[in-house]
Structure 1
Amino acid sequence: MSDQHHEVTVRRAQLPDLEGLVASSGALFAEDAGTRDPSININWPLEAGPERFAAGIDDPSRLTLVAESGGQIVAHLTGAVAEATARQPVKVATLMSLYVRPAHRSGGLGVRLVEHFSAWAKEAGAELAEVTAYASNSQAIRFYERSGFTSQAVTLRTNL
């Protein structure tokens, strides 16, 4: 895929990517949770992101991908695999975070990231993959449905 005359490369994140990962995560929080969920600390990526991302880079049960174009991180994906338990006797891969900068959307980059996630999850022995999206984020829901995800549960909330 070409974008602004630069190839977009999808790869596993490395420690030098932390600043770009934090920026990408911060953009996701501002755009998604920041407009949909007042209970979320939208400063979390700046406060805890560097430590959290650094811990996940070498953890075999976690996946941190970046998409790079022209030396800049233009997208990221994070995921994790949880071992089977007595309650849920299958390994489950959770796509925890996906963000593509607006200038790089609609060109298949999100699909590429999800494909990498799915391949990694299968290789890790996961039998199921899951992702959570805000009910009001219809674009994200449609994207994940096109990627093969289907609704499984609905979370209902009330203010107290």
Structure 2
Amino acid sequence: MKIRKASIKDIETIQSLEYELYQETKEIHDPTFNPDWAKSEETAEKYRTWMEEGVYIAFICEEDKEPIGILVGGIKEAKHRVNITWGKIDHLFVKKEFRNKGIGTQLLKNFEKWAKQNGANREIVYTHTVNHSARKLYQREGFEESEIIFEKKL
């Protein structure tokens, strides 16, 4: 297993893994998720811009050169809070057959190191309330619940 920093050349790989994440999210947690958005040109352009600006990073985990996991995140100043700069995790995904082997933990540790080096003093991540395995991972890694989002159909 090897974890490496992604480059602009990896955007298609990032999108492919995010497609799997969104597909799983749609099937298990939220039927409103649109997996096709992950593979859109808009998404590719977003990643290009973020990587060029240097405020976002992606880590790819590979097994025998095959991508099996990803973490995408960036630095975000919490302007509504005093002296808080977040390392914000946007996506963390490990293929099903490679879960519970410490890959998610290693991706989180790589991101945490990068976030600290880039000025973050807190980390945040959002997940679905019914995604118990993700919640368990984050809590095990020292994250605490701090906000709850309410959603209402209209």
Q: TM-score by structure 1 length?
A: 0.87
Counterpart mapping for 1:5-154 below 5 A = 8-47=1-40, 48-85=42-79, 87-89=80-82, 90-154=84-148
Report the CA distance between 1:39 and its aligned residue: 3.1
Query: Cα deviations across residues 91-133 of structure 1 (Å, max 9, x unaligned)?
Result: 1111110000112111111100000111111111111110001
Classify 1:158/1:84 alpha carbon distance in 2 versus 1 (closer, same or farther; 3 Å): closer
CA RMSD of aligned residues (A): 1.5
Q: Following the alignment from structure 2 to structure 1, what is the Cα–Cα distance between the partners of residues 135 and 26?
A: 15
Asked if the contact 1:34–1:42 (Cα under 8 Å) also holds between the matched residues in 2, the reply is no
Deviates more, 1:37-46 or 1:96-105: 37-46
Q: TM-score by structure 2 length?
A: 0.91
Indicate the residue corresponding to 1:4 in structure 2. none
Asked if the contact 1:93–1:128 (Cα under 8 Å) also holds between the matched residues in 2, the reply is yes
Report the CA distance between 1:150 and its aligned residue: 0.6
Q: Following the alignment from structure 1 to structure 2, what is the Cα–Cα distance between the partners of residues 49 and 61?
A: 16
Query: Cα deviations across residues 32-64 of structure 1 (Å, max 9, x unaligned)?
Result: 244322333221111133222222333321111
Q: Which stretches in structure 2 are left out of the alignment for 5+ residues?
A: none
What secondary structure sits across from 2:106 in the alignment?
A: helix
Percent same amino acid among aligned pairs? Answer: 24
Q: Which stretches in structure 1 are left out of the alignment for 5+ residues?
A: 1-7
Report the CA distance between 1:158 and its aligned residue: 1.5
Report the CA distance between 1:84 and its aligned residue: 4.5
Q: Following the alignment from structure 1 to structure 2, what is the Cα–Cα distance between the partners of residues 119 and 152?
A: 22
Equivalent pairs, count: 152
Q: Following the alignment from structure 1 to structure 2, what is the Cα–Cα distance between the partners of residues 114 and 98?
A: 8
